């Protein structure tokens, strides 16, 4: 039997690749199918992996195989500030899957900036807001006006997904990339944002329920407008909690954008309700449908506007949160649909424009979308007419 071909890797690089996605030795060993001691020996330089093992490591660490032969690690963008909290305090760990998705979002944004330059386009500026909790209601009015969505269409959106897509389109037209990620537990992260201009980005956890994603979308959009990126699980901060002030602010802005103060208080269910501690499931469901938010979000808005008590909110919330979960069997997504949802319409439109103008190749196109060549016609058909940079709507 011929001797196994060894890969003459740089041990510093293979260790960096593992640690850059916060993967433990045990996790790496499980995915590469070797003992942890073997990986430790590669990272110390005491041994070299076979070519096949090195390729398996590159796949597990989501890095090109050639990375292991560089003289030094390439520069990675820093992760967004971590505002996640566990219900009892503390901070959840970051899984390798979430670390990879954060890196993917930075890669797509960097690619989008390059495409902008090659196409000689300018991205619109989404604007900014104060970032001060005292101005949350006022800032929300400004945000809604900037997005151009009035209160009238909200009850008429036929499904949760129509509502989600309407808000996503408006935010992308404002000049913000909107991505989706998957394979990450909702409890670990509901979304994150990159606040750098131009083309800041928002990423949503596709495992979350549509109403949950709508609130996260607006929360992360508030992060972008306030100029402070974040990695968030939207824990329920009260004013005297130890959570970050920016999280309370973004929660407040998101709620006020989705449920405008005056309209919400004048809604017949709210205006006629007298008992602060007797909000029924039927009433909360009606408010949820009217504003296309979760029942928990509607209940929290009632508390913020003085229409219920904190004790009732906490008691009722314990009933609602287990029920406001992602719907099972939400439907099968084809590879083109997955690619478009993951990359967003703004990024997808830029990629297709660059391809049609021969600024990038078909190989680049498949890399950006993460699909095979055979899926590109369907992606083109679904993205046709969506030119977000010129304000085009579907």
- pLDDT at res. 328: 43
Confidence of residue 77 (pLDDT cuts 50, 70, 90): confident
Q: How high does pLDDT run on average in the chain?
A: 90
The span from the CA of 230 to the CA of 206, in Å, is: 17
Q: Identify the residue with better confidence: 82 or 42.
A: 42
On the question of pLDDT at 327 being above 60, the answer is no
Closest CA to 214 of 177, 254, 252: 254
Q: Identify the residue with better confidence: 136 or 242.
A: 136
- pLDDT at res. 89: 67
The span from the CA of 11 to the CA of 52, in Å, is: 16
Q: How many CB atoms lie within 10 A of CB 240?
A: 6
On the question of pLDDT at 81 being above 70, the answer is yes
Provide the sign of the torsion angle of the four alpha carbons 171, 172, 176, 180, taken in this order: positive
The region of weakest confidence among 140-149, 196-205, 239-248 is 239-248
- pLDDT at res. 393: 41
- pLDDT at res. 5: 87
The span from the CA of 176 to the CA of 132, in Å, is: 22
Confidence of residue 383 (pLDDT cuts 50, 70, 90): confident
The region of weakest confidence among 104-118, 186-200, 236-250 is 236-250
On the question of pLDDT at 385 being above 70, the answer is no
Dihedral angle of Cα 257, 259, 263, 266, to the nearest 10 degrees: -150
Give the tens place of pLDDT for each residue, 163-191. 999 999 999 999 999 999 999 999 899 99
- Domains along the sequence of the chain with CATH: 11-69 (1.10.260.40), 96-258 (no CATH)
- pLDDT at res. 107: 94
Measure CA 328 to chain center: 20
Residue 119: partners with Cβ closer than 8 Å, 6 or more residues away? 350, 353, 354, 357, 359
Q: What is the mean pLDDT of residues 125-133?
A: 93
The span from the CA of 353 to the CA of 367, in Å, is: 15
Confidence of residue 392 (pLDDT cuts 50, 70, 90): very low
Q: What is the mean pLDDT of residues 300-323?
A: 88
Give the tens place of pLDDT for each residue, 2-16. 667 899 999 999 999
Which tokens is 196 given? 């750098």
Give the tens place of pLDDT for each residue, 19-60. 999 999 999 999 999 999 999 999 999 999 999 999 999 999
On the question of pLDDT at 239 being above 80, the answer is no
On the question of pLDDT at 330 being above 80, the answer is no
On the question of pLDDT at 208 being above 60, the answer is yes
Contact between residue 258 and residue 291 where contact means Cβ atoms under 8 Å apart: yes
Closest CA to 106 of 175, 179, 168, 188: 179
Compute the 3-state secondary structure of the chain and give helix, strand, coil in percent, each to the nearest 5. Answer: 55, 5, 40
Q: What is the mean pLDDT of residues 206-218?
A: 95
Contact between residue 337 and residue 382 where contact means Cβ atoms under 8 Å apart: yes
Contact between residue 58 and residue 67 where contact means Cβ atoms under 8 Å apart: yes
Residue 66: partners with Cβ closer than 8 Å, 6 or more residues away? none
Any idea which residue has 């699909």 for tokens? Answer: 371
Tell whether omega for the bond before 198 is within 30 degrees of 0, i.e. cis. Answer: yes
- pLDDT at res. 69: 94
Give the tens place of pLDDT for each residue, 107-126. 999 999 999 999 888 999 99
Q: What is the mean pLDDT of residues 124-135?
A: 93
Closest CA to 16 of 93, 77, 76, 84: 76
């Amino acid at each position: 039997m011929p001797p196994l071909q060894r890969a003459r890797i740089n041990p510093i690089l293979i260790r960096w690749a593992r640690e850059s996605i916060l993967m433990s030795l045990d996790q790496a060993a499980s995915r590469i199918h070797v003992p942890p001691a073997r990986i430790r020996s590669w990272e110390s330089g005491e041994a070299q992996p076979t070519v096949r093992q090195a390729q398996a490591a590159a796949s597990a660490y989501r890095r090109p195989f050639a990375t292991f032969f560089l003289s030094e690690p390439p520069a990675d963008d820093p992760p967004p500030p971590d505002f996640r909290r566990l219900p009892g305090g503390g901070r959840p760990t970051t899984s390798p899957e979430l670390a990879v998705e954060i890196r993917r979002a930075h890669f797509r944004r960097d690619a989008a900036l390059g495409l902008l330059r090659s196409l000689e386009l300018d991205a619109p500026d989404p604007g900014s807001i104060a970032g001060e909790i005292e101005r949350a209601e006022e800032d929300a009015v400004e945000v809604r006006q900037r997005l151009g969505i009035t209160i009238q269409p909200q009850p008429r959106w036929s499904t949760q997904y129509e509502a989600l897509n309407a808000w996503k389109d408006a935010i992308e037209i404002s000049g913000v990339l909107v991505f989706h990620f998957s394979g990450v537990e909702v409890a670990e992260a509901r979304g994150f944002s990159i606040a750098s201009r131009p083309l800041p980005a928002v990423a949503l956890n596709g495992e979350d329920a549509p109403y949950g994603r709508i609130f996260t979308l607006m929360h992360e959009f508030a992060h972008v407008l306030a100029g402070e990126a974040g990695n968030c699980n939207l824990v329920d901060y009260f004013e005297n909690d130890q959570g970050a002030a920016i999280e309370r602010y973004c929660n407040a802005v998101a709620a006020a954008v989705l449920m405008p103060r005056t309209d919400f208080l004048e809604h017949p269910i709210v205006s006629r309700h007298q008992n602060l501690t007797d909000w029924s499931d039927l009433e909360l469901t009606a408010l949820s449908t009217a504003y296309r938010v979760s029942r928990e979000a509607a209940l929290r808005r009632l508390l913020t506007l003085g229409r219920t008590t904190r004790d009732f909110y906490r008691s009722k919330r314990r009933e609602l949160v287990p029920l406001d979960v992602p719907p099972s069997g939400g439907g099968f997504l084809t590879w083109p649909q997955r690619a478009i949802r993951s990359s967003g319409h703004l990024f997808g439109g830029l990629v297709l424009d660059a391809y049609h103008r021969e600024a990038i190749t078909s190989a680049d196109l498949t890399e950006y979308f993460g699909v095979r060549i055979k899926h590109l016609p369907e992606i083109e058909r679904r993205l046709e007419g969506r030119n977000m940079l010129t304000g085009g709507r579907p």
